Structure 1
């Protein structure tokens, strides 16, 4: 049975690396779901154990904030905010700074993927009107969304998982992340401005969306009441997380329920924007990882690596493993694999920061990157892997260096007993 479990685990994580499986119409979610089904089918995991392996607080928190983000998107808030940024009479570099700061702030609260999905088409249209080259702004959007999402325990799915599993204090994590995120955002802006070297003007004909392209996030007029309702719920949730003693998933679920109670906005519209595939991916990976943990294989591999001098539960190897795995199997599966090794007081913030910041390295490193590049391609704006890498690689290395220096200082500060 152990060999069967290992085989299924390897196939699932091969699917995470490739984004699917050869000759089959499966994405990462489909591969993970079939892996979980296979494990249950061969009695490697019972139905009860499979259900028990799913970390329900994480699923509830993720679902709840998907509802909050859907409310903001349907209320036209993202479109309105993007148009406001673009209408400011700043110089191009200043406009980029305002955009990146705004996107980072939104991503810290409303999830980076949703922000990129809603903002990208509006940002392209705004750049066209001002005759600005949209590529630097699109790269700034993707980079700042990934960096900003690291600022809180609700900014992206893996941070939610880390915060819920390790029970990290919400305000305590923000205090840990504020310096590396702030300095990382500044470094990303400086690198983009330096690479542009003053060439901000868009001289090509205005690109248009290709036939049949649909961007459900664009051209949504501002509904002040629905937007205000979403902002009020989000503000109450943040305050409750910061000062309240209640479980975050309970408070968030109540907030989602309040938003679904509407006389004008049908629940099918809101729930239609929930990323159900991501929720299924989480649940399936919980089952797959539970099976490999219960088999004893994971413990043996970790022990063998420790015997060879690589102690993954120590901070430096954990930092490196998080960076590598986040770009090989994607950040959520990487975090799921490494969470059992998070024993040090700083291990939780380390996992959250490194897995989030690593997403800027390559286009495939983050769903946010893919969303931005795909939306641009539908408007004949090509951002290939080379163009992205000219910004993504130096931004990733710089932000990770900043995070590493900060974490080293924090560890030494804790060791001194101060």
Structure 2
């Protein structure tokens, strides 16, 4: 075992926990990239093995679906949806239910981060115009985006990774996850509604937003490609990454949407984060340290081959180092039947506990802050903690029923 690899892995995962390296202007992406650079530059991971370390099908799937979601964003789809809800003039509780349902469904088919990025500012505008307190709706959006994204293998980056690496069938996972995700959305609505009962009204300055105008043709193109991809994932043997790239290629062939504009909205830092963590975890596995750690846990009675332990440890690690790094660490241990569903549901639903538990939470809070709306840690915890406990409990019970062993 190389001492250098151990040191790099420790510093990288410390950076995942802290969100940075103290004294340096590095975020999580920078930390992962720097760790990979050190391992490659020192020869601990030879350059010719980097291609083996990086799972290209996962990156291709993630990139292709980012292009599809960007198409809908530039077509003004997300803004149009929220403003249509604003015109219905339902009661605050019913409006919350609509926001939770829409955010959950969209996040199951599109990257939940982009859904939050596009919807949060328009949601603040909606609340300001109707004299509503935006905080419960923003919390409902963040929690629903996380819970809804757990329903499919394309709802968030860690699910895409699990599906690709473990070869989980799209339809099979949907059967495992749809019920707990649907029940989880109901739990989100109930917790937020009870937490803010009698506190729906508020005064917020109406923000001046620069949002893409709604373009029916561009939206229809994006929706048609998305639905075609879902159909291919469900019923076709076509590799998911190849189908996603084909869909992205069709959307790039546009007479109006400039390629640079589309690529400018791709989440390149997330792709780089994946590459960096792939290389670091490859070095960890090749050094033998990962096997020793797993063996040490087994000696203490924590057998990750058992789904219950895998579920619990994944939920814990997801709140310590965030869900993508946690899933990458635990993927080799997901050998039991239903292991993919265990990792996907646990890592995703655990993300609602703290603001930093998922990128979707952070995006909603930061977008709101830019428009003068503060969502405190306490406010988030008052909703996030019970939502996390309820949804994890429901998911664990459902998985036990489906995979009793």
TM-score range, shorter chain: over 0.9
TM-score, normalisation: structure 2: 0.98
Matched, 1:187 2:179: no
Aligned with 2:403: secondary structure?
helix
Q: Which runs of 4+ in 1 moved over 3 A?
A: none
Q: Is the aligned partner of 1:125 residue 2:115?
A: no
How far apart in 1 are the matches of 2:387 and 2:350? Answer: 9
Task: Give the aligned partner of residue 169 of structure 1.
Answer: 169
- After TM superposition, give the deviation of residue 316 of structure 1 in Å: 1.2
* Other-structure match for 2:76: 76
Q: 1:207 to 1:386 in 2, by over 3 A?
A: farther
Q: 1:131-146 alignment to 2 at 5 Å?
A: 131-146=131-146
Match for 1:267 among 252, 259, 275?
Answer: 259
Deviation at 1:384, TM superposition (A): 1.2
Shift in Å, 1:86: 1.8
Distance, in Å, in 1 between the alignment partners of 2:88 and 2:222 is: 25
Alpha-carbon displacement from aligned partner over 1:53-86 (angstroms, at most 9, x marks no partner): 1000000000001100110000000100111122
Establish whether residue 305 from structure 1 lines up as the match of residue 304 from structure 2: no
Determine if contact 2:32/2:277 at 8 Å carries over to the other structure. yes
Q: Deviations over 1:257-294 (max 9, x none)?
A: 00000011110000000011100110110000000100
Match in the other structure for 2:57: 57
Aligned partner (choices 280, 293, 297) of residue 285 of structure 2: 293
How do 1:103-252 residues align onto structure 2 when only pairs under 5 Å count? 103-202=103-202, 204-206=203-205, 208=207, 218-252=210-244
Give secondary structure in 2 for the equivalent of 1:154.
coil
**Corresponding residue of 2:355:** 363
**Separation (CA, whole Å) in 1 of partners of 2:257 and 2:8:** 43
Give the distance between the partners of 2:46 and 2:119, measured in 1 at CA: 43
Alpha-carbon RMSD across the aligned residues, in angstroms, is: 1.1
Is the Cα–Cα contact under 8 Å of residues 111 and 156 in structure 2 kept in the other structure?
yes
- Distance (whole Å) between structure 2 residues aligned to residue 219 and residue 285 of structure 1: 34
Over 3 Å counting, the alpha-carbon distance change for 1:402 and 1:65 in structure 2 is: same
| Pair 1:65–1:123, CA change in 2 (3 A) | same
After TM superposition, give the deviation of residue 207 of structure 1 in Å.
5.8
State the secondary structure of the residue aligned to 1:221: coil
Distance of 2:348 and 2:187 partners within structure 1: 16
Find the aligned partners of 1:180 and 1:235 in 2 and give their Cα distance: 23
The structural deviation recorded for 1:206 is 2.1
Task: Work out whether residues 125 and 206 of structure 2, in 8 Å CA contact, stay in contact via their aligned partners in 1.
Answer: no
Task: Look up the match of 1:381.
Answer: 373
Note if contact 1:207-1:381 (Cα within 8 Å) is conserved in structure 2. Answer: no
Contact 1:346–1:411 (CA under 8 A) maintained in structure 2:
yes
